[in-house]
Structure 1
Amino acid sequence: MEKYQLTLSNLWKYIKEIYGDVEVAYLPPHGNNIRSTYGREYERSLRLADGLRRLGIAPGDRVATLDWNTIWHFDLYWAVPGMGAVLHPLNVRLAPEDLVYIINHAQDKALIYHRDFAPLVEKLKPHLKSVQLYIQISDGLGTATRDPEIEDVIKQGEPKPLPEIGEDTVATIGYTSGTTGKPKGAYFTHRALTLHTLVSAVAFAGFRGFARPECTEEQCAFMQLVPMFHVHGWGTPWTFALLGWRQIYPGRFDPNHTVKLIAEEGVKTMAGVPTMLYMLLTAPEFPKYAEKIKAVRPIFVVGGAALPKELAKKAAEAGFIPRVGYGMTETAPILTLGFFRPTEEIPKEVDRYYDLLTATGLPIPLVDLMVVDEGLRPVPRDGRSVGEIVVRAPWVTPEYLGDVEKTREAWRGGWFHTGDVAVWLPDGRVRIVDRAKDVIKSGGEWISSLQLEDLIMTHPAVAQVAVVGVPHEKWGERPVAVVVLKPGASATEQDIIKHLEKFVEAGKIPKWWLPDKIIFTTQLPLTGTGKIDKKVLREQYKEVLR
């Protein structure tokens, strides 16, 4: 018998047949609204695939995107993998130097970009070795360069059926943020992403106490807040299409615009990093829509960083239903979600409830997860014994592109090593307590402490430096640099910041990486092996930004 292929294309055909009349809306802050349907976007995605083929994109070619959460990005999610090519969403927040490295390393043949990034793309072009085709998404605002416009590509294409492709065909690639060296590339097949979509749909539709809002299919609306350049937008563009929900794409994230859409469109579910949730709760326009939001009672799934208990409580008071998920770039991304077993009693005691709510959660189906010691032995499920989270799942990347050594290190012992340190709770939940590497997570984005330290060390007055992440109410964590000056040398906080700003201007680091504070000291604490003890520094300065 012929093996039926698990592909995104086959899911897309099903969605068109069953949910063809369900709305897909693009409602950006600038007001050029588009209200479409799955059926209409299905046809547009076929035309887009054919238009790209006519421009020279063939199966196996890699197509990079620099875009917000637009309806064109949604079409590209289906069209590019559907034609047998490889979708490569680029993180728009990376430094130009990292974008050049990633595009060249991935050997992207095409770059499709939003007009907002036209100046950036013009600066990148001379350094991009493999890109042969540039296409702009003008977003109804007019083109900013002479590159072809995506709507013209769609109009020139025909709605030809997508080709039959194998489920082991690579569908997407994505890169880590390069927190411990150069960014690493991970890839995902159609089979991996189809299984991830199916299991995610089961989770959102049926897990007790997780999603399953009180609404009919016609009323259920999902808003894509997670940037679509973050690990497939956490897979939700595909997942909520399969569920037949209305989908709303709000363009570039704007807190005031978002709270308005939640209230006026009756958004029932969304997802994002804790900073996004914080920004919604503190948006100047929030009081105007507070009562409507309480009536809607939207679910907000938090991932990308730990959900602080106080933020979860504030969200609940404001009418949101906070939930938690966990994953990473290499895992497509979902590994765990904060749901309850059918026979499990949901705690009535407030602190206990939020302890469970903000834990990393339980594995979703087909995820094999352990918390282990250095010998790959499971740690006791006592909530105290610390170990590393290791996983196996059909959607975990099998390797890093072109990096045998990093692949071997990540997959040692037959398990993927996440680098996240956690405890295992008696009920099977995991709670992340630290990171194996001293990266800083600010607003859901990674900041490399090592890279900042290297740049600060180039200042002629600096002898030693340690950069650590300290708690921040809005961003979760922000970098603070602790500096030891050379004997007889002098420098001020502003001197160090101005020194770093030179590297921002040179495109080596983004501006938001700049430390919030520079602290001068005469000696840095050391571990027994002579290394700087960052745990001591994090504890010592944990209140410095409050």
Structure 2
Amino acid sequence: MTTILNQHEDYHQAQDAYGFPLIIKQLLNRARIVSRHQTISYADKLTYTYAEFFKRINRLANVLKNMGLKQGDMVAVMDWDSHRYLEAYFAVPMSGMILQTVNVRLSEDKVLYTINHAKPKALLLNAEFAPMIKNHQFDAPSIEKVIWFDDEDAHVAELPSYVDGIYEDLLSSASDEFDFPDFDENTIATTFYTSGTTGNPKGVFFTHRQIVLQILASMASTALNAEGQGVRYTDVYMPMTPMFHVHAWCVPYWATLIGLKQIYPGRYLANKLVDLIEEHNVTLSHGVPTILQMLITEMNQRGGKFNGLKISLGGSKLNESLAKRAYECGIEFMCGFGMSESCPTLSRSIFDDKQKAMSLEEQINYRSLSGSPILLVNMELWDENGRKQPFDGEATGELVVRAPWLTQSYFKDHDAGNELWRGGWMHTQDIACITPDGTLKIVDRLKDVIKSGGEWISSIEIERILSLHPSVAEIAVIGIPDERWGERPVALITLKPDHTNTTAEDILAIGHQAVEKGHLPKYGVPSDIKFVKEMPKTSVGKLDKKVMRQMYSQNLF
């Protein structure tokens, strides 16, 4: 418990004063009082009230305790986005255990790597992912207990011999009363692994205090926006960022804190997502541009529009072509910036009367930027020598940040952690500029910026310009080796279904026009354009430029 540290004799903490540690169980305080009759749904499979949710959290905590698990033990989850996942979000860390959210979209060997690196004692396992852990007694020997999830009739399924029980059966036989303890708010609550583009995934970890502070700052920064953009008590929430990835941007936590109606969609299938949005009148979500494109394509095929759907976008740059399509489809979208190591949100769009007065073109451009720092976040731009750069909208440098919820290192990788925190600031490895009014513009990733003839070229800026061509559905610009210039940009493009006759010359014409208007240097026009059916993406839906460069070098495009 916290105590008051003050030398003045009149300031003493009352003997029975409650120090209120910032731990995850405090997030349920309001909902227990005002949201008992609000509902939580899992796709089209079930719906229950918050009152039942609280009981199920208690039951899960008792199941884990009865299995012999104790504070400090690691509990892993492999599931689609479900009510079960939300229950684990609370029951596991509230019990003083550490929740590992396993990225089920990684390759099998990477999944096993993350499990063996974290060494969980228990695993909550969806039947679909059982093949990934193989014979876990040999391939993941730290796992002592396995709890089985199955959306089908688990009672008639042939269960593997290593399963200790079916989730629903175990919950139904456990007590619905549990007294969650108080403990140090700096206790580790969660860990998960980044889907980095090089080497093995790295483990990040967050304390109860860090998660609670991120939730409060992110939620408040969202709520401060104008009506139609900010979160409201009346919103209906459905995640479209996987719950294994940075706690689904922590939004399930703050949706529960507020007491919102919540929908968990399971696996992300475009038709199912739109069905759920329409059925439940979903108004609040978040995701990467790939998910946004899926939604728009599905809704266009239905000949309809979204009605009051607010989506926060991150993960990768939103190109202005897709932004315009989202606007035309009735989606109220905002962009932000964050990373796995930052828990994740660091910035998001501000939308007030000033932005409302903008023209459509100005709004699209503004909304496609990365917003402004959320509450409590400090940012600087450093050049290659660590010198601070001005916020004038022109000077660029690596974005370095400070906030009270940033991971303090990498799990079992102190060297990488020290590199992340060089000079006492977290290094994002993003090149950015910041305008005088505090708007963040990501120029490029350090590893993706292209150096041609001694000049730096922003792949993101080329993508922004070429995406304005009406034929472009998705675009990625990569640097490829060139004997004369060192590197040259190449554009990979997927075309919209009704624009398949578009040629490379048609799209390059946009680039040449940008050169004539002074918006792009001549050497920024790509040397080549390749039309592809599908873009390589990471496990969380980001464009994977490392794989693109490898495929290009192997003539696979």
Quick check: TM above 0.5? yes
- Counting only pairs closer than 5 Å after superposition, residues 215-294 of structure 1 correspond to structure 2 as 217=233, 219-283=234-298, 286-288=300-302, 290-291=304-305, 293=306
Q: Identify the residue that residue 23 of structure 2 maps to in structure 1.
A: 7
Note if 1:91 corresponds to 2:103. yes
Deviations 1:441-474 (A, max 9, x none): xxxxxxxxxxxxxxxxxxxxxxxxxxx9996955
Deviation at 1:160, TM superposition (A): 1.2
Question: 1:46 is matched by which residue type in structure 2?
Answer: N
Show the 5 A alignment for 1:38-49. Answer: 38-49=50-61
CA contact 1:420–1:435 (8 Å) conserved in 2: yes
Greater mean alpha carbon deviation, residues 423-432 or residues 267-276: 423-432
CA contact (8 A) 1:210 1:339 kept: no
Amino acid at match of 1:545: F
The answer to whether the Cα contact below 8 Å between 2:491 and 2:530 also exists between their aligned partners in 1 is no
The counterpart of 1:151, out of the listed 168, 183, 192, is 168
For 2:302, the aligned partner's letter is K
Give the Cα separation in 2 of the matches to 1:527 and 1:98. Answer: 38
CA distance in 1, matches of 2:473, 2:134: 33
Q: 1:164 to 1:439 in 2, by over 3 A?
A: farther
Structure 2 distance, partners of 1:542, 1:205, is: 44
Q: CA deviation at 1:108?
A: 1.4
- Matching of residue 317 in structure 1 with residue 331 in structure 2: no
Contact kept, 8 Å, 2:77 with 2:123, in 1: the verdict is: yes
Counterpart of 2:447 (choices 414, 418, 437) is 437
Q: Distance in 1 between matches of 2:349 and 2:325?
A: 18
1:138 equivalent in alignment to 2:92: no
Which of 170, 175, 180 aligns to 2:193? It is 175
The DSSP-based 3-state class of the residue aligned with 1:543 is strand
SS at match of 1:261: helix
Tell me by how many angstroms 1:208 deviates.
Answer: 3.3
How far residue 94 of structure 1 moved from its aligned partner, in angstroms, is 0.6
Distance 1:375 1:8, change over 3 A: same
Identify the residue that residue 514 of structure 1 maps to in structure 2.
none
Contact 2:376–2:404 (8 Å) recurs in 1: yes
Change (3 A) 1:537 1:202: closer
Q: Secondary structure at the match of 2:244?
A: coil
Shift in Å, 1:426: 2.3
Matched, 1:331 2:349: no
- Give TM-score, length-normalised by structure 2: 0.77
Aligned equivalents of 1:386, 1:20: Cα separation in 2: 50
Instruction: Give, in whole Å, the separation in 2 of the partners of 1:382 and 1:108.
Output: 48
Distance 1:81 1:87, change over 3 A: same
Change in CA separation of 1:75 and 1:392 when aligned onto 2, cut-off 3 Å: same
Q: CA deviation at 1:543?
A: 2.6
Distance 2:488 2:142 in 1: 41
CA 1:269–1:289: 2 relative to 1, 3 Å: farther
- Identical amino acids, percent of aligned pairs: 34
- Judge conservation of contact 1:100–1:128 (CA < 8 Å) in 2: yes
Cα distance change, pair 129–381 in 1 and its aligned pair in 2 (3 A): same
- SS of 1:396's equivalent? coil
Work out the CA distance in 2 between the residues paired with 1:49 and 1:424: 46
Q: SS at 2:21's partner residue?
A: coil
Contact 1:20 1:37 in 2 (8 A): yes
Q: CA deviation at 1:155?
A: 2.1
Instruction: Give the match for residue 351 of structure 1.
Output: 361
Structure 1 distance, partners of 2:396, 2:289, is 24
Q: Residue 230 of structure 2: which of 191, 195, 212 is its match?
A: 212
Tell me the secondary structure at the aligned position of residue 419 of structure 1: strand
What SS is found at the alignment partner of 1:42? helix
Question: 1:406 Cα deviation (Å)?
Answer: 0.9
Contact 2:488 2:527 in 1 (8 A): no
Deviation at 1:277, TM superposition (A): 0.7
Q: Is the 8 A contact 1:379 1:424 kept in 2?
A: no
State the Cα distance separating 1:245 from its structure 2 match: 1.3
After TM superposition, give the deviation of residue 149 of structure 1 in Å.
Answer: 1.3
CA drift at 1:14: 3.0
1:70-98 Cα shifts (integer Å, max 9, x gaps): 00001000000010001111111111111
Query: Is the alpha carbon distance of 1:234 and 1:345 closer, same or farther for their aligned partners in structure 2, counting shifts above 3 Å?
Result: closer
- Name the aligned partner's letter for residue 168 of structure 1: N
Q: How much has 1:299 moved relative to structure 2? A: 0.7
Aligned equivalents of 2:528, 2:431: Cα separation in 1: 20
Deviations 1:509-533 (A, max 9, x none): xxxxxxxxxxxxxxx41599xxx63
C-alpha displacement at 1:45, in angstroms? 0.6
Q: Which amino acid aligns with 2:119?
A: Q
Residue 102, structure 1, aligned to residue 114, structure 2: yes
Which of 183, 187, 199 in structure 1 is aligned with 2:217? Answer: 199
Q: Secondary structure at the match of 1:113?
A: strand
Structure 1 gaps, min length 5: 441-467, 483-523
User: Structure 2 vs 1, CA of residues 381 and 209 (structure 1 numbering), >3 Å: closer, same or farther?
Assistant: farther
In the TM superposition, what is the alpha-carbon distance from 1:120 to its structure 2 partner? 2.2
Alignment of 1:290-309 (within 5 A): 290-291=304-305, 293=306, 296-309=307-320
Which residue is 1:60 aligned to? 72
> What amino acid is the match of 2:266?
G
**Which runs of 5 or more residues in structure 2 are unaligned?**
1-12, 451-458, 493-524, 533-557
What corresponds to 2:7 in structure 1?
Answer: none
Provide the rounded CA distance (Å) in 2 between the counterparts of 1:350 and 1:78: 42
Distance 2:339 2:358 in 1: 32
C-alpha separation between the residues in 1 aligned to 2:184 and 2:449?
A: 38
Matches within 5 A, 1:460-471: none
Q: CA deviation at 1:177?
A: 1.3
Q: Is the 1:201–1:242 Cα contact (8 Å) retained in structure 2?
A: no
**Could you tell me which amino acid in structure 2 is paired with residue 256 of structure 1?**
N
Tell me the CA shift for residue 475 of structure 1: 5.8
Distance 2:166 2:295 in 1: 33
Q: Secondary structure at the match of 1:111?
A: strand
Secondary structure at the aligned position of 2:531 is classed as: coil
Name the counterpart of 1:533: 487
State the Cα deviation string for residues 294-339 of structure 1 (Å, max 9, x = none): xx22111111111111111111111111111211111110100011
Q: Which residue identity lines up with residue 60 of structure 1 in the other structure? A: G
Does 1:393 pair with 2:403? yes
Change (3 A) 1:260 1:122: same
Aligned residues of 2:341 and 2:407 also touching (Cα < 8 A): yes
Shift of 1:534: 6.3
Q: Distance in 2 between matches of 1:149 and 1:541?
A: 57
Q: Distance in 2 between matches of 1:114 and 1:93?
A: 13
Tell me, yes or no, if the aligned pair for 1:275 and 1:474 is still in contact at 8 Å.
Answer: no
Task: Supply the distance in 1 between the matched residues of 2:108 and 2:488 (Cα, whole angstroms).
Answer: 29
Write the deviation string for residues 417-451 of structure 1: whole angstroms up to 9, x where unpaired: 011111222221111111112499xxxxxxxxxxx
Q: Is the 8 A contact 2:40 2:49 kept in 1?
A: yes
Tell whether the 8 Å contact from 2:240 to 2:287 is kept in structure 1 after alignment.
yes
Picking from 410, 428, 452, the partner of 1:418 is 428
Task: Confirm or deny: 8 A CA contact 2:476 2:491 kept in the other structure.
Answer: no
**Contact 1:12–1:78 (CA<8 Å) still a contact in 2?**
no
> In the TM superposition, what whole-angstrom CA distance separates every residue of 1:358-398 from its partner, at most 9, and x where no partner exists?
11110100111122212333322232322111111111001
Q: Which residue of 2 aligns with 1:186?
A: 204
Q: 1:545 aligns with which of 531, 542, 545?
A: 531
Is the counterpart of residue 72 in structure 1 residue 84 in structure 2?
A: yes
